[in-house]
Amino acid sequence: MKKSLEKLLNKPLPGDPLLPHKALITDVEELAPGHKRFSFSFLDEKLNETWEHIPGQFVMITVPKAGEIPISICSSPTRKGTIELTVRKVGRKTEVLHQMKPGDVVAIRGPYGNGFPVEIMEGHNVLIIAGGLGLAPLRSLIWYILDKRPLYKEVYILYGTRNYESVLYKEEMRRLRKRPDVKCLYILDKIENEEDRAWTDREGLLTELIPEVDLDPADTYVAVCGPPVAYKFIGKELLKNGYPESQVFVSLERKMECGIGKCGHCQIGYKFTCVDGPIFPLWDTKNLPEML
Amino acid sequence: MEFHIDKARVLPKENLRGFLEGLKNLGKLIAPVKKQEKFYFDVIGDVSKVELSYTRTILPPKKFLVPYRRERYTYDAETLDFSSSFKAEPQIIFGIHSCDLHGISILDSVYLKENPDPRYLEVRKKTVLIGISCKPDEYCFCMSTGTAFPDGANWDLFLTDIGDNYFVTIGSTKGDEIILNMKEFFREITDEDLDLYKKSSSFKKSLFDFKNLPDLGRISQVIELEYDSPVWEEEAERCLGCGTCTNVCPTCFCYTEMDVPSLDGKTVTRVEFTTSCQYPYYSLVAGGHYFKPTRASRFKHRYYHKFVGYPYQIEKLGCVGCGRCSAECPAKISMIETIKKLRGTADEEELRKVAE
């Protein structure tokens, strides 16, 4: 024990993992009321080229004068040059970010977290289940898989939102539905007007779509992201339909200050969401109390 | 050999003052001092103020390694150029008890094992840790946590009281150098010194009331098995949620960061400050969702992290048995009692099953 402790102290000083890189906002798009997509590129050209991430990972973004927030990356690593984040205006810091415009400078560090096991998923079916803003980290996965389409078997996308107005990436999701190599099932909490009806004729909860997925559960990897309350129901429904717990991956949200397992806020049971997650197999609910 | 017993020396107590004066030449000297009936670690000007017959200080020496409030960066609000005025100064922390030395070793693992923090490492490289033997009181349970003696922790010198002298063991090359440079205060060990030193560990043991000590065998499992125990609710009922227990803990490391703009709004300072898992906002995310919404869930989290979390994260228990959380708790919640209560329910059930 002593020897390993001595070794820790004898190492040379490492680089500062908390120091962010300057990044320029290159594009802002209003997706839905209170939701915006921000595109960034680093001022350091080299970093734009070397930047790599895995779908499901997140960054810490410094909103000038307001502070740092963890946001999951919604662009695919297969499309280099820019990083995209989907941000809902929900608190003090995101409100400031929402006022920012193309040309403004922020600072970003990362990527952090484990990401979805995209390599293990290769050669299998993939079922993607997104609820509301949960589409953000999954959009990264969707485009990653579609860009490497031959590596994966069947791909299903289930997407549930409150109404058509709150659907994110409307055009993209519409185009996805037209693709022959991916099956899309969209659902709305309530269909109230023509717009809603034009989007989908399905009304109800996201869980209702799960039994309709025509895949062999044993050969399928599932990626889930949605509001905290949804996980319990989605998880239960997936298990009921025979999906193995070790093949269902959920993306979780917790309070974070550092992203590198030092601030403690994001602990779920004995794990840190920022370094051991934010992607957890459903299997972990057995070991981690209060995970879902 | 970990202790380098062949290099050990004896420091006669009358030379202590001279030794402390000598240490001041190496950097900032920090040692326990008395304030009314309590003790605390402070920077020493006058070495006669150093108080070595203390049981525990209010705060652990952690505050000199990771300050409770620290400025991480200052950045320009327009250009986002980050800069830092951080500078580590050489310092000697003198008179640390075994539990706190183990506490610092735990922090070493937390800060340096994965994603190492260069600031902590720099401070740590410039810090000399000199420990001293101690006598336990009713709050101490280092005997249960295995931290009653400094073995296995990371320190430079350790002074064991053997009557008229201190038996000085050496834990690092840094410690060895200090003794070499201040040879005049030390003398060779005699057989009699060694004999007294060997007896010192059983002497410390004899000062514990073993009936009072909690049983920490398989403690991780006990906490997990008793996760739904009513004991958590009962104990949390008394908890005020003030966060004193985590603030005085030598191993707690959670912090919150905050960007504080200057009055003219041109520069922003990123401040990190110690937080507590006992505060509701600890788990609050944007949108108003609390992941640990009840006091009982936060109360339980502290025990869970100490006894299940740390063993998973750094392969050691997160509690060193210093007794600060129990001694300082305004609601008189005792870690020893909580563990005993938890075990009590477990053991009774086990016994009942065996009896059937």
Write out pLDDT tens, residues B88-129: 999 999 999 999 999 999 999 999 998 999 999 999 999 999
Q: Please give, rounded to a whole number of angstroms, the shortest distance from the CA of B215 to a CA of chain A.
A: 22
Preferred mutation among B3, B76, B82, B176 to probe A, highest tally of A CBs within 10 A? B82
Please report the residues numbered 87 through 116 in chain A whose beta carbons come closer than 8 angstroms to any beta carbon of chain B. 90-91, 93-94, 105-107
A226 vs B352: CA distance, rounded Å: 45
Q: B154 to chain A, minimum CA–CA distance in Å?
A: 6
Per-residue pLDDT of chain A (292 residues; tens, 9 = 90+): 577 888 888 888 999 999 999 999 999 999 999 999 999 999 999 999 999 999 999 999 999 999 999 999 999 999 888 999 999 999 899 999 999 999 999 999 989 999 999 999 999 999 999 999 999 999 999 999 999 999 999 999 999 999 999 999 999 999 999 999 999 999 999 999 999 999 998 999 999 999 999 999 999 999 999 988 888 899 999 999 999 999 999 999 999 999 999 999 999 989 999 999 899 999 988 788 788 7
Long-range contacts of B196-203 (CB under 8 A, 24+ apart): B196/B162, B196/B163, B196/B167, B197/B8, B197/B160, B197/B162, B197/B167, B200/B133, B200/B160, B200/B161, B200/B162, B200/B167, B201/B149
B308: chain A residues, CB-CB within 8 Å: 269-270
Q: Does A67 touch chain B (CB under 8 A)?
A: yes
Among B77, B253, B270, beta carbon nearest to A264? B253
Residue type, A173: M
Q: Cα–Cα distance between B233 and B239 in angstroms, integer?
A: 10
Q: Which residue of A has its CA nearest to B125?
A: A9
- Tell me the C-alpha to C-alpha distance, in Å, between residue B351 and each of B228, B243, B336, B345, B356: 19, 36, 22, 10, 9
CB neighbour list of residue A7: distance below 8 Å, 6 or more residues apart: none
The CATH H-level (homologous superfamily) assignment of domain A21-111 is Translation factors (2.40.30.10)
State the span(s) of chain A assigned CATH 2.40.30.10.
21-111
Residues 6+ apart with CB under 8 A from B107: B62, B65, B66, B120, B250, B251, B253
Residue of B nearest to A104 (CA): B78
Contacts of A2 in chain B (CB under 8 A): 2, 152-154
Q: Which CATH architecture has domain A118-251?
A: 3-Layer(aba) Sandwich (3.40)
- Tell me the average pLDDT of chain B: 91
Kind plus residue range of the DSSP H or E element containing B106: helix B98-112
Q: Kindly determine whether residue B116 and residue A262, on different chains, have CB atoms separated by under 8 Å.
A: no
Report the alpha-carbon distance of residue A280 to residue A222 in Å, rounded: 11
Listed in sequence order, the residues at least 6 apart from B95 whose beta carbon sits closer than 8 Å to its beta carbon are B31, B32, B50, B52, B54, B130, B131, B132
What is the value of ipTM here, to two decimals?
A: 0.90
Q: Which helix (H) or strand (E) holds B93?
A: strand B91-96
Q: Shortest CB distance from A1 goes to which of B124, B152, B309?
A: B152
pLDDT tops 80 at residue B85: yes
Of A257, A271, A289, the CB nearest to B255: A257
Is the separation of the CB atoms in A157 and A142 below 8 Å?
Answer: yes
Query: Which of B77, B270, B287 shows the shortest C-beta gap to A90?
Result: B287
Whether B295 has a pLDDT exceeding 90, the answer reads yes
Distance CA(B348)–CA(B191), nearest Å, equals 50
Nearest-angstrom CA–CA distance, B99 and B153 = 9
Q: How many CB pairs under 8 A join A and B?
A: 145
Interface contact flag, A93 B256, Cβ < 8 Å: no
The C-alpha of B46 sits at a distance from chain A's nearest C-alpha, in angstroms, of 31
Q: Are residues B313 and A255, on separate chains, in Cβ contact within 8 Å? A: no
pLDDT in tens, B22-38: 999 999 999 999 999 99
Contact B283 A16 (CB under 8 A): no
- Give me the mean pLDDT over the B40-62 stretch: 93
CB A7 within 8 A of CB B158: no
pLDDT digits (tens, 9 = 90+) for A76-107: 999 888 999 999 999 899 999 999 999 999 99
Query: Which CATH number is B5-65+83-211's, of 3.40.190, 3.40.640, 3.90.1200, 1.20.120?
Result: 3.40.640
**pLDDT tier, B355 (very low <50, low <70, confident <90, very high otherwise):** low
Q: Which residues pair with B227 in a beta bridge?
A: none
Residues of A in contact with B122 (CB under 8 A): 13
Question: Is the CB of A255 less than 8 angstroms away from the CB of B172?
Answer: no
Q: Note the residue count of chain B.
A: 356
CB B152 within 8 A of CB A47: no
Q: Which pLDDT score, from 0 to 100, does residue B1 have?
A: 40
**Cis preceding-peptide flag for A278 (omega within 30 of 0):** yes
Which residue in chain B is spatially nearest to A276 when comparing CA positions? B313
User: Can you tell me the distance from the alpha carbon of B223 to that of A166, in angstroms, rounded to the nearest whole number?
Assistant: 43
pLDDT at B354: 58
Contact between B112 and A18 using a beta-carbon 8 Å cutoff? no
CB neighbours of residue B332 within 10 Å: 9
Q: Domain spans of chain B? A: 5-65+83-211, 219-251+276-348
Across the interface, whether the CB atoms of B121 and A91 are under 8 A apart is answered: no
Contact A19 B253 (CB under 8 A): no
d(CA A280, CA A268): 11
Question: Residue A94: its chain B contacts at CB < 8 A?
Answer: 286
Beta strand extents in chain A (DSSP E only): 21-32, 35-42, 58-63, 67-72, 83-88, 105-112, 125-131, 155-161, 183-188, 220-225, 248-251, 267-268, 271-272, 279-281
φ/ψ of residue A117, rounded to 5: -75, 70
Rounded distance between C-alpha atoms, residue B289 and residue B285, angstroms: 6
Return the pLDDT at A1. 53
pTM score, whole prediction: 0.92
> Which among B268, B274, B287, B277 is positioned nearest to B73, based on CA atoms?
B268
The answer to whether A261 contacts B257, with C-beta atoms less than 8 Å apart, is no
Provide the percentage of residues in chain B whose pLDDT is more than 70: 96
Examine residue A217 and say whether the peptide bond preceding it is cis (omega within 30 degrees of 0): no
Shortest Cα distance, chain B CAs vs residue A107, angstroms: 7
- Per-residue pLDDT at B55: 93
Structure tokens belonging to residue B259: 């960007």
What's the confidence (pLDDT) of residue B286?
85
Residue B349's pLDDT is 56
Considering only CB atoms, which chain B residues are within 8 Å of A67?
257-259
Nearest to A13 among B122, B268, B286 (CB): B122
pLDDT at residue B84 tops 70: yes
